[in-house]
Amino acid sequence: MDFLMSSLLLLAFLVGHFGLWIAIYNRINAFDLPRRLTKPLMKLLLLLAVLFPLYLFWCSGTALGLPSLCNGRDFFRGGVVEFYFFFVLSSYLWLGIPWLSARPILGIGWLHLKIRTEVRDLAEELEIPLPLTRRCALFSKLPLNQIFDLAVEYIELPVRDLPDELDGYRIAHLSDIHLTGDVSPRYTSRVIELANQWNPELFALTGDLVDSEVCIDWLQDALGQAKAADGAYFILGNHDARMAGTQPIRDKMVQAGWFDLGGKKVAARLRQHLVTLVGNEAPWLKKPPQLQSDDPLFRLMLSHSPDQIAWARSNGVQLMLAGHTHGGQGRLPLAGPILSPSRYGSRYASGQFDRNPTTLHVTRGLSGTRLMRINCRPELSLLTLRQM
């Protein structure tokens, strides 16, 4: 019995320990910290996450018969390791329960929708190889990798206070293009072609367009064919902010026929109905001005990160579209996404959420700097707005 109890405590400690460090990892990546700081910090976190359990067992030993190389009992009673052990176990209450309540399988706070998904293997249907580098070609052949298995998702999205004129309004939402030089821009242009076939009334692009200066010139070929009656709007994200300057990206997108909504609020007519469009690039770039009572009352916000949901709610935004989290880049059965660069952890990694008065849609995005997607296909979201 003692052996079984010790084994269960050991397992609980290890799961809680790694869960705690993943939670720290997710939240550090959610803030506007300098890249030169975050990269070494992430490596340090990984090192500590692996080394600390080894250190604990080395100093204290366990009922499983691991040798103690120092006077473990005295050290354990000394408080440092003992404190951390119980701190980890306590995290099941203040961190584990909120994490569990946000799992997709439970559906708490989620909008329960019937979504029609059409999977397109773009590597198969296009006439040219999509990988441009050996690295990408190698990763694309790995088992379970879905980087070119596009999920075209047809979503009927309920929105509060949606004007009668906008019931049935069609928005093509895409995000996280990540032109790194690894993948041909033909991949993205094919996504635009598929969206055009649906005849959207508005295109919305929620950031992370380029990761390499040379790829700025690809934007015309990748995104220049978007067609929508009420226009194509974009904002930038944290990867765009890493470039030497964002103005060349903005200029190239405007030349390609897109409207720069970053850090702005504009009055626009959708189906001739006056609405407020908002572009929120915080915390990395431009945060929009606060909305006023005389702004048109139906408000649609493009945000790179779902973390701006509090801003949306406090400003009476009825519909918020976001990306950034890539759906976690991978999802476990039942548990769903684990990694997600957000102050909310993986709660808003992807999906549709009801956060009164705001409906939040988070797409998994199209690509990324990490060329692996496991149980997490890239996504083109074709949204049909419906009155709630």
For 103-155, the pLDDT digits (tens) are: 888 888 899 898 999 999 999 999 899 999 999 999 999 999 999 999 999 99
Q: Quick one: pLDDT at residue 80?
A: 67
Q: Quick one: pLDDT at residue 88?
A: 86
Give dist(CA 226, CA 212) in Å, integer: 22
Q: Quick one: pLDDT at residue 111?
A: 92
Minimal CA–CA distance to 201: which of 118, 271, 258, 261? 271
Band (pLDDT 50/70/90 cuts) for residue 1 is low
User: What pLDDT digit, counting tens, does each position of 279-325 carry?
Assistant: 999 999 989 999 999 999 999 999 999 999 999 999 999 999 999 99
DSSP 280: E
Give dist(CA 368, CA 349) in Å, integer: 14
Provide the token pair at 264.
Answer: 């702005």
Query: Which amino acid appears at position 244 of this protein?
Result: A
State CA 15 to chain mean position distance. 24
Mapped onto helix, strand or coil, the DSSP state of residue 233 is strand
In the chain, alpha helices (H):
2-28, 35-60, 72-78, 80-91, 97-101, 122-125, 134-140, 185-197, 219-223, 247-255, 309-314
User: What pLDDT digit, counting tens, does each position of 32-77 carry?
Assistant: 888 788 888 888 888 888 887 777 666 655 434 444 444 444 444 4
Q: Quick one: pLDDT at residue 59?
A: 62
Give dist(CA 164, CA 157) in Å, integer: 14
**What interhelical angle do 35-60 and 2-28 show, nearest 10?**
170
Q: How many residues does the chain have?
A: 388
Range 256-277 average pLDDT: 96
Strands 299-303 and 273-280: parallel
E strand residue ranges, 122-253: 149-159, 170-174, 202-206, 232-235
Which is it for the CA torsion 226, 175, 136, 334, positive or negative?
negative
Q: Quick one: pLDDT at residue 117?
A: 97
User: What pLDDT digit, counting tens, does each position of 172-219 carry?
Assistant: 999 999 999 999 999 999 999 999 999 999 999 999 999 999 999 999
Provide the token pair at 58.
Answer: 């080395």
Residues 6+ apart with CB under 8 A from 370: 329
Give dist(CA 363, CA 352) in Å, integer: 9
Every domain range in the chain assigned CATH 3.60.21.10: 115-387
Minimal CA–CA distance to 303: which of 207, 368, 382, 233? 207
Provide the token pair at 277.
Answer: 């469009």
Report percent pLDDT > 90 for the chain: 68
Range 215-235 average pLDDT: 97
Give dist(CA 26, CA 343) in Å, integer: 7
Q: Quick one: pLDDT at residue 46?
A: 82
Report percent pLDDT > 70 for the chain: 93
Quick check: 8 pLDDT over 50? Answer: yes
For 227, half-sphere exposure in the C-beta direction (CA atoms, 13 angstrom radius) is 7
* DSSP codes, 349-370: SSEEEEETTEEEEE---S--SS
State CA 317 to chain mean position distance. 20
At the top level of CATH, the class of 115-387 is alpha beta
Q: Quick one: pLDDT at residue 3?
A: 67
Mapped onto helix, strand or coil, the DSSP state of residue 245 is coil
Band (pLDDT 50/70/90 cuts) for residue 385 is very high
Mapped onto helix, strand or coil, the DSSP state of residue 146 is coil
- CA angle at residue 317 from 379 to 380, to 5 degrees? 10
Residues 6+ apart with CB under 8 A from 306: 320, 322, 324, 325, 342, 344, 348, 360, 362
Q: Greater confidence, 353 or 100?
A: 353
Tell me the Ramachandran region of residue 269: left when phi exceeds 0, alpha when psi lies from -120 to 50, beta otherwise.
beta
Q: Quick one: pLDDT at residue 159?
A: 97
